[in-house]
Structure 1
Amino acid sequence: MANESAKAELASMIDEFQQQMRVLGEIQQKRSQLMATGYALQKQVTVVVNADGTVIETRIDPELEDLPLYELGKAITEAAQAAATELGRKSAELTNPIQERRGRMPKMSDLIEGMPDLTERIPEPIPASTAPPNSTERQHNQPAMTFTDVEELDDITPGRIRADDW
């Protein structure tokens, strides 16, 4: 009886997986067509990005010809960042259905007794900085990686290693 129940559960999971793969294919097709637009200086600077965040068009109002270049550069950056933010919103909106479906599926820990829920160990993504390359935000020192599961070794001087040390 328990075996039949497990078979039915597995068949249901396989069906759900196949449906998710179909939906994922549709989402990938729609995603490939995504574009987002960002603006700056009351829409006098416009930047359009594709689904990968690559700038595919930049428009600058000719009225800005006397604008200092550093201000124009700042406005283009602002518009590109606004486009990237909009792209993120559109991408999240597009992938919401698959995330909801995935949330309804049982976890491995639900199916295998004693298996820990490993999804709790997935670290949250760290947002990328939008600060310019030489800004003070980028100048702070990153903490060095620390390894805690290590074995301490005695000091070994080159030339003093013997075969029986291995």
Structure 2
Amino acid sequence: MTNEAAKAQLADLAEMVQGSFAALARAQRDRARLTASARAGGRRVTVTVNADGVVIKIEFSDDIDALTYSEIAAAVTSAAQEAAVEVKQKSQEILAELQAEKAKIPTLSEMFPLMPDIQAMMPTPPEVSMAPPNAAERRAPDADTGLRFENVEEFEHDPQARAHSDAATPGW
């Protein structure tokens, strides 16, 4: 490949990257303006969330007193979750357009064949639970980190307890 061809290819790549940055900025602006609303409790409760799924407005109809406090609480929770799901779907639609733009840019591994595809190595985050705080799925054990230590000695971190430990004595 000649030097001029390499320069032209690099200029094309720079132009694609610049276009992708502009598309990213547009997508971020569009996503930041997103809201979603949902109703529950016989349409007596309306909850509106922002793009992050944070509740920004709760409205009760005039006949909200037909519901008990626990029914109101359940309706608010249900409407907030439904609105959060809706705004997440809207966000994913915006990001899907961005992914199409990103797919046009070659990866490092395509430009440099010996370079690993770092993006493919990134773990995907788990789905966030909509379960209440004490639900069984929230009590699941922590993810296995894969680290195992064997043939180790315990160390007492408390200095007062360590003073009485054989391992802390100078003659040990």
Q: TM-score range by the shorter chain?
A: 0.7 to 0.9
Instruction: Give the corresponding residue for 2:73.
Output: 73
The aligned residue for residue 158 of structure 1 is: 168
Change (3 A) 1:92 1:143: closer
- Assess, with a 3 A threshold, how the Cα gap between structure 1 residues 158 and 60 changes in structure 2: closer, same or farther: same
1:68 partner letter: T
Match of 2:135 in 1: 135
Aligned sequence identity (%): 34
* Deviation (angstroms), 1:159: 5.0
Instruction: Point out 4+ residue stretches in structure 1 off by more than 4 angstroms.
Output: 150-156
The answer for unaligned runs of 5 or more in structure 2 is 156-166
CA distance in 1, matches of 2:55, 2:96: 25
Match of 2:168, SS? coil
Give the TM-score of the pair, scaled to structure 1: 0.83
User: Gapped runs of 5+ residues in structure 1?
Assistant: 162-166
| Residue 96 of structure 2 is aligned to residue 96 of structure 1 | yes
Say yes or no: does 1:54 pair with 2:50: no
Q: 1:139 to 1:153 in 2, by over 3 A?
A: closer
Whole-angstrom CA distance in 1 between matches of 2:95 and 2:150: 44
CA distance in 2, matches of 1:125, 1:154: 35
How many pairs align?
161
Structural RMSD (CA): 2.6
Secondary structure of 1:38's partner? strand
